Structures are given as structure tokens and as C-alpha cells.
Chain A
Amino acid sequence: MKIKNIIPALLLAPLISYADSSAMFTAAGAHSSWVIMNKVKPTLEKLSGREISLFGKQSMLGVGCNSGIKSALKRDTKNESFGMVCCQLSNEEVAKKNLTVYPLALEPIMILSHKSNPINNLSNKQVKAIFSGKITNWKQVGGEDKAIVVVTRLHCKNRPGHWKRILDDASKFTPKRINVESADEMVNRVGDFTAAFGHAGTAWLLSEKSDVKIIKVNGFLPTRINLKNGDYPYFRQLSVITSKNASAELTQLMRNAQKEVFQNPSLTAEYQLLPIDPNSL
């Protein structure tokens, strides 16, 4: 190597070293996946030796699955990023957007009503009938004579799973309903109307002060045990995603995340999330 090439290399060496040490992983996306990643973040940081910055604490439009996909495809010269999604992406979307999906856990979907509602249990059929508008009054399922206020959050309409496990198309839901944009709004609306009926993922914890309660479906609560046993019918898949061109470090980080979630189910027990075995995929 010539001397004239060595001198600039020596001068730039400290700067290059500094840039490497300050690089971090960033991620954005759905709140439910954020809940998991936020739990495993300290372990992942330790394993990767890099700081991880997560955006997705709020549940609202703009920080959902689409935001997660954008984050995964983001090209940042300094920091690498990945995305967090709360729906199972279709194979077509994964291929078209050149993504790699790393499933983490399954999240039960709660069926919600107002606390004052005397009904505590509904059959799967009754739930579907209420959401579709075939049942419009609580007295039709043994409750009070009140018109049912259906509240939906029909997000990610082109992706499989999630609310589609209740009714597989948005058009099958009753038109006489109100549609909200976030889990927070869902809980507020159901809490406001005594005849309300809605749905939300278990990762959105219900406050004790909330006027909302969970309705059993076929006599089963939305727990991970019931989900694992195949007793509870409604759930969705939570994943992290990267670009197919992700670095080895990021790929390793994703695998570590899968491994950590699966090996430490207690981390997600609070949210009733059912970890997925990465080896089974």
C-alpha cells in the first residue's frame, strides 16, 4: 500500500470506528408487536451490542402495519430498521415488497361489551350474527331490550387473519355500525354506550376503571391456553419484518427476538400472547 493512501486511512479511522459504535436498530409499527419487542429489547441490545429504538407505543392510524412495512423497507445509511406488524401478511405482499417475515406470537382477539351488560357469554355463531347485523338487539341473545351498537376496527383490509376470523370480509359487517381507528378508541366507544359490542387484541390491556368487559366465546375467555388448545376462535399473528436485503446483524437480531420470545413465555404472559416456535415455521 502506498504511503499516500495510508495517511488518509489513518486520519479517517477514528471517525469510522465512531460511526459503527453509534449505529442503532430502529423500528416502527403495530402496537401489539411493539409490546413484545419492548419486552425483549434489553436482551436483544445486549446480544447485538447496539441500541434499539422502537416506535409503536400508541395504537392509532399511522403507526400500524403499513408503518411497520415502511420501516422495514427504509434505507438508512447509518441505522438499520425493521418493522412490527399485527397481521399476517399475504404471500403476494411479502413477495411483492421483498420482505422477510419473522412470526413472534399469536394474539387472541377479545370480544368486548359494556360492563353493565348482563350477557357474559356468546356462541361463535351469535358473535358473527351480531357483527353481521343479523342480531340487532340484546334481547335476541337473552339480554336487555337495547339496540346493539356495533363498533369495529376493520384495519388491514387486504391482509388475512385478524378480524377476518370473525367475518372474512368487511362488507359482511353490518353497515349500521361505527368504525374506529385505534384500540384506544374502540375501548372508549364500547365504554361509552351500554349496548356497545366491539373487538380488540389482548395486547391492549383494559384498565380496571374502564367500563368495558370481555365476553366469553363458546364459554372460553381469550387466553393463550384456550388459544393453544384450539378452544378460542379469534386471534391474529404478530410478527417483525425486514427487507430481504437485511444485513446479517439484523437477521440475527430478528432470529434472536423469535428465540427470546419463545424461550421466555413469561415475558408475554401478561398480554395472553402465545409464542410461536421458530423451528416449527
Chain B
Amino acid sequence: MFKLTTFRSRLIFYILLVSIFVGVALSLSFWHTQNILLSEANQQLIRTSRLLDTHLAEDRGELKRYVGIVRDNLRIQEYMYVVTEINAENEPLDKLFLQQFGWLPIDNRALTDMEGKIISGNTNDTIIEPSTLSEQEKINLRYVHTVDGLMLVASSPVYYLQQKIGYVVLSRTYNTSKLRELENISKGRVFITNKNIVSFSTIPSLLGKPMSGKRQNLSLANDNLMLTHIEIDNSLNKDIDFYFGVSEARLIDNIEQFRKILMFIITFGILGILILGLLFLRDFDKPIKKLLALTNDVADGKLPFANKVTPRNEIDVLSNNFSDMINSLREKQTLISKAQSELEILAITDSLTHLYNRRHLLEVFPKLQAQAQRDHSPLAAIIIDIDHFKNINDDHGHLAGDQCLYEFSALLRSHSRTNDYLFRLGGEEFLILTLGETAEGVHAVAEKIRKATEQTPVNYRNIQINMTISCGVCVEYPTDDNEQSLNSLLLHSDNALYLAKQTGRNKTIVHHEIDDEPNTLNP
């Protein structure tokens, strides 16, 4: 069974989980797009129709406001009076009207006399209805259906010195280009009907088609329009209606485009998550593996060299810290090894003379014995004792005695051979062990040392201290028994030494194995 015991496996699981979640979420969105968009389109239809309604209402309000501005202009009133009551030329009025109100964002403007005859402006008589004008006292608004388009007309009477002198008439036209503007705002289709017949539309095939407020849909040759009626004030013209429609084909195109985009997002989104996850996994996995190998080595007692890396994340920092830890351990281990070696040397050597001590003799002898047995060669021992050493201590002090011991050990070292083992057995007694020598050869070595000692006085605080030594030499083939061989060798050489001491000191005596009699070779 798949177990999430490692961070690697957990990370893989997590990436897969995220990918599946994203995939499922986007797929659900993909399959429900159509329903969502159709539902949204219906809402949008209602919202946009309200927006258009507001837009048309703003048009009406704006036009009404402009009429008020023109009507209340004192100079316009004055000039209209001059034209209508004094019958002066209307050019100054035209000039003034254009100069002061030419900027108004309207399509037509006119000033009329009391009979509705235009005295200034750029409109035709079709929008002027004298019957309507003569009745009104305030600003009047209405929709007028003309061949050029549906016109929103606003008019108001103009007074000069409390005398009604004419009318101001402004209009805005809803023709094909205006409908196209509305369609750009609403992203749909806008129609105008007159007595339930389409009278203005940007789609020529719709012109003349019957339409009623109850219709929800309108089928065209290649499309179907979802329709809604735009509310306008019926009192302005009860025959006129505005409709707003949204193309279903356009909606479906939008859905398809949305789906393509969604599919693209699904594919590349999941792929991106996987690639990023793998890259992250690789960055995470590599240093973890390296760390694991290092810890295994350390657990095995190794202290491997680990290179440090430029830290980019917490794992790099951890890895570097671990390398530092290993390096620190390695330094500590070197110090311990060095201390251990020194301790070992201290354990087997004499602290004054730096020669091997008796303990080391017990350790090294079995090796020499085994060597001698392998080579079928004898083992030789020279036991040396400094003559009358007690007198040196007594006469010159223990420090002088120590100096004599130190310098004698140096002499021993300089006159011995490479394969000789030098020991201080205790006090002023020394031992030289060597391998494969004849009694004559060993005797010669002992003699050489004895003579050198005799000829080399020790200088202690400018006092010459003369020393002599006595040597006992023994050469034997060792038996299989270590202890017995060592005891025998030491005993026999010690006997020879004893004899040398007994017979006057400053001499070397060899113990012959064969007749078991010490043989003195005096100088």
C-alpha cells in the first residue's frame, strides 16, 4: 500500500491533489459555462434595457434643460422681440443663436414666432406643431415620427417684458447612426416601432416587421434574438416603442470563446502545477538525499568531507550547518587522537630518559620472541647499571643524579643501533634488547657503551661528574614460553651484571648459556 512516510511522497501526493482539484474545478466550470452565461445573459438583458431606459430618460432631461437655458436667455428674448414685434431682420438673431447655443449637443434647433413660423434655426417644419405650441405654457416633450428618424422634441414659449413672443424648439434625432451608438453602448440590438411595426433598425430585414411588447424572441435568418421592451413615458407618444435584443449566436460564440480560453487554462494550468511541483521536488529531494548519506556516514563513524553550497533555502542552510558540524567533529577527533598517542607514549616510556619502561618490555618481548623464533636467531640482552650512582646523588644532589641519568640515556641512544630496544628498568638500571647477535657482537656493543660512558663526564653546574657502568650480557634462543624466555634472559644477564659488580665494576660480563658460567671479559 502507498504510504506517505517521506516528505517526497507527501509532496508528490500534494501536487497531484492540487492538480486534480484545479482540474475538477475548471472542468465543472467548463461544463456549466453555457447555463451560467445564458442565465447571466438574461440578467444582462434586463439590466441593459434599464440602462437604455435611463439613457433615453437622460436624453429627455438634457433636452428639457437646454430648452430652459435658451428660453431664459435675456438677449435671445430681446432679439426675438426685435424680429417678431418690430419686424427687423433675423440675421442678428441667427448669429446670436448660433454663437451662444451652437455648442449644444442637439440635432435641430429653432426659434419660432407665435404662429410657429421659424424665425431662426436649422430645423424643418415637420417637428413644429403649431397646435401643440399654442397650448403649452411650460416645457413640452414629445416623440415625433419622421422619415429621417424618430425625433425627441422639446419646446417652450419665450417671453419678453411679460409678453409671449414665440417659442424655442430643440430636437434630438434617433436615426440609424444614433441606434448604432446605442447598440455600441448596450452590446445588443435596438429597434424602434411605430404602431407595433419596426420603423427604425440597423438590420434592414427587420424594417416593416410586426412587433408587440409580449414577444420574448425574434427569429432572424441566421440568428435568434432574445428581446425585451424598453419602458418609455407613453404620454410622449403612445405609438412609439423601443426594443432591445441580444443575439443568441453571439452569446454562443462568446461561450465557445470562453470555453477555449478555459480549456487552455486547464491544460496549461495543470501542466504548470506539475512542472513547478517537479522542479520543487528536485530542489528539495537532492539536498535531502545528500544529507541522508552524510548522516549515514557519520553514524558509521566516518567523518566525510562535505562541500558547502550557496544557501538558497532552509535545506541548503541545514546542509551547510551539518558540514560545519562534521568539520568541527573532525578537528576534535584529531585532537583526541593526538592526545591518545601522547598518552600511549607516556604509558610505555620513562618520563626522565624517554626510554621504554618495564611495562613496555612486557608488551614488546612477545613480538621479539616470535620474530627470533621465526628467524631461528637468538635474543640478546645487556643489563647496565651505573656504578656508585647513590654516591652521585649524595655528593651532588638528586638533580645532578637526574642529569646523569638523562645524559647517559642520550649516550645509550647514540651508541645503539636502529633495531635495538632501550629500556630503563628502574633507578640506574638499563636494558638493551636486540635480535640475532652473537655474544661477541653484543659484548662489543656493551663495551663500546661502557668506554664511551667512562670517557664522557657529565657537566652539572660546571662540575665534571665522571661515571662508569657495569654491564651483564646474555644471548639465548627463546623457548615457546614468553615469560620463561624473558625471565631466563633477564636472570642470566642480571647474574652476569652481578658478577661484574662483584668483580670490581666498570666492566662487561657475558653469561654463556652452554656452561652456564659467567665469562668476564675485562678491559
Q: Which A residues fall within an 8 A CB radius of B?
A: 146-150, 176-178, 189, 192-196
Query: With an 8 A cutoff between CB atoms, is B53 at the interface?
Result: no
10 CB-based A-B contacts, threshold 8 Å: A146-B88, A147-B86, A148-B86, A149-B82, A150-B86, A178-B78, A192-B95, A192-B96, A193-B92, A196-B88
Interface presence of B89 (CB below 8 A): yes
> Is there an interface contact between B89 and A194, defined as CB atoms closer than 8 Å?
yes
Cβ-defined contact, B85 with A149, below 8 A:
no
Q: B85-105 interface mask toward A, CB cutoff 8 Å, 1 = contact, 0 = none?
A: 111110010011000000000
Count of interface residues, chain B, beta-carbon cutoff 8 Å:
12
Establish whether residues B89 and A195, one from each chain, have CB atoms under 8 Å apart when the complex forms.
Answer: yes
Contact, CB under 8 Å: A176 / B85: yes
Measured CB to CB, the closest approach of chain A to B170, in angstroms, equals: 23
Q: Is the CB of B88 within 8 A of A193?
A: yes
Cβ of B213 to closest chain A Cβ, rounded Å = 52
Residues on A with C-beta less than 8 A from B78 are: 178, 189
Q: Does A193 lie within 8 Å of B89, measured CB to CB?
A: yes
Residue among A146, A177, A193 facing the most chain B CB atoms (10 A cut-off): A193
Q: How far is the CB of A152 from chain B (nearest CB, A)?
A: 12
Which listed residue (B81, B85, B86, B92) contacts A192, Cβ 8 A? B92
Instruction: Indicate which residue in B86, B95, B96 contacts A149 across the interface (CB closer than 8 Å).
Output: B86
Chain B residue, CB-CB nearest to A151: B82
Q: What distance in Å separates the Cβ of B218 from its nearest Cβ neighbour in chain A? A: 56
* Smallest beta-carbon distance B21→chain A, Å: 79
Residues of B within 8 A of A (CB): 78-79, 81-82, 85-89, 92, 95-96
Bound CA span A149–B96, Å = 17
- Smallest Cβ-Cβ distance to B160: which chain A residue: A178
Q: Which residue of A lies closest to B163 (CB)?
A: A175
- Interchain CB contact under 8 A, A147 and B87: yes
* Minimal Cβ-Cβ distance residue in B for A196: B88
* B234 to A: closest C-beta gap in Å: 43
* Residues of chain A within 8 A of B96, CB atoms compared: 192
Residues of A within 8 A of B95 (CB): 192
The CA of A195 and the CA of B78, in the complex, are separated in Å by 15
When distances are taken between beta carbons in the complex, the residues of chain A under 8 Å from B87 are 147
CA distance A196 to B79 in the complex (A): 12
Bound complex: CA A178 to CA B77 (Å): 10
**A150–B78 alpha-carbon span in the complex (Å):** 12
Q: How many angstroms from the CA of A251 to the CA of B322 in the assembled complex? A: 109
Residue of A nearest to B77 (CB): A178
Min CB distance B507 to A, Å, is 137
**Complex CA–CA separation, A149 to B85 (angstroms):** 10
Shortest beta-carbon distance from B386 to chain A in Å = 125
- The distance in angstroms between the C-alpha atoms of A214 and B96, with both chains bound, is 24
Give complex CA distance A148, B78 in Å. 15
Q: Which residues of A contact B79 (CB under 8 A)?
A: 192
Q: Is the CB of B89 within 8 A of A178?
A: no
The interface residues of chain A lying within 8 Å CB-to-CB of B89 are 146, 193-195
Closest CB in chain A relative to B22 CB, distance in Å: 76
Whose C-beta in chain B lies nearest to the C-beta of A148? B86
- Residues on the B chain within 8 Å of A149, using CB: 82, 86, 88
* Bound-complex Cα distance A231 to B48 (A): 78
A147 and B82 CA atoms in complex are apart in Å by 10
Having A189-B78, A193-B88, one finds 6 other A-B pairs with CB under 8 Å, namely A147-B87, A149-B86, A149-B88, A178-B81, A195-B88, A195-B89
Q: Which residue of B lies closest to A180 (CB)?
A: B78
CB distance from A18 to the nearest CB of B (A): 48
A-B pairs with lowest CB-CB distance, top 8: A192-B92, A147-B87, A149-B88, A178-B78, A147-B86, A149-B82, A149-B86, A193-B88
Docked pose: A110 CA to B96 CA in angstroms: 26
- By a CB distance below 8 angstroms, the chain A residues around B81 are 178
Q: Chain A: which residue is nearest B81 at the CB level? A: A178
Q: State the Cβ distance, B180 to closest chain A Cβ, in Å.
A: 41
Q: CA separation between A146 and B86, bound complex, in Å?
A: 10
Minimum CB distance partner of A195 in chain B: B88
- Chain B residues within 8 Å of A147, by CB: 86-88
Q: How far is the CA of A196 from the CA of B88 in the complex (A)?
A: 9
Chain B residues with Cβ below 8 Å from A189 are 78
| Cα distance, A157 to B85, chains bound together (Å) | 25
A243 CB, nearest partner CB in chain B, Å: 36
Chain A residues with CB under 8 A of B85: 176
**Quick one: closest A residue to B89, CB to CB?**
A194
How far in angstroms is the closest Cβ of chain A from B54?
42
- Within the complex, the shortest CB–CB distance from A131 to chain B, in Å, comes to 14
CB distance from B312 to the nearest CB of A (A): 79
